[in-house]
Amino acid sequence: MSAHIVLTRIDNRLVHGQVGVTWTRAVGANLIVVANDQAAADPLQQKLMATTADSTGVGIRFFSLQKTIDIIHKAADRQKIFIVVKTPADAVKLVEGGVPITKINVGNMHYGKGKKEITKKVYVDEQDQKDLLQLASHEDIRVFIEDYPGEKKFTVDESLFK
């Protein structure tokens, strides 16, 4: 039996109100897993994110990418897991590590030098684009941009980057 992952979201802010409350409720998650090496080692960042999770009554765990890969298969059936990563590269590492991800929501990827606008909230550089297309190339993984539950979805494929 594989872990019950309801959604994986790429958001460079990790867990904040929109993720911790709106998305968690929309997907019916009861556990948020923040898979991020820096957050896993930063108690202050964890405390801030845990406050958001506590407000919705869901559990939250902070694991490095490797620890997520190592333990995700031990998750209980009753856990409806919402994984949050910071970058497309993090999602690629989880998928390559065997984490059974089927849906990836690209949420927030801030503007930075060398990044181009895909939507109002998603900016990518060449590596991000390559990673997103690699994820989308898996026939069992649906990758889409959706800022807020119920808003217009953009499927991630080659045409998105033209």
Q: What is the mean pLDDT of each run of 10 residues along the chain (162 residues)?
A: 89 87 93 97 95 89 98 93 97 97 96 94 96 97 94 94 88
Q: Scan for tokens 């997907």, then name that residue.
A: 27
Query: Using an 8 Å Cβ cutoff, are 91 and 10 in contact?
Result: yes
For the packed helices 88-96 and 126-136, what is the interaxial angle rounded to 10 degrees? 40
User: pLDDT at position 55, please?
Assistant: 85
Could you list the residue range(s) of the whole structural domain that residue 11 is in?
5-161
Which one from 4, 16, 110, 138 is the annotated catalytic residue? Answer: 16
Query: Facing residues of 81 across strands?
Result: 5, 31
Take residue 4 and report the two structure tokens written for it. Answer: 């019950």
Residue 2: the pLDDT is: 74
Task: Give how many domains the chain has, as a whole number.
Answer: 1
Would you list the DSSP string of 47-82?
A: HHHHHHHHHHT-EEEEE-HHHHHHHGGG--TT--EE
Instruction: Please tell me the distance from the alpha carbon of residue 91 to that of residue 145, in angstroms, as a whole number.
Output: 14
pLDDT of residue 1: 57
Q: 155 pairs with which residues across the strands? A: 144
Asked if residues 147 and 107 have their Cβ atoms less than 8 Å apart, the reply is yes
Task: With beta carbons less than 8 A apart as the criterion, state whether 144 and 154 touch.
Answer: yes
Task: Identify the pLDDT of residue 52.
Answer: 87
Q: What is the CATH number of the domain that holds 126?
A: 3.40.35.10
pLDDT of residue 158: 93
73: annotated active-site residue: no
pLDDT for residue 54: 86
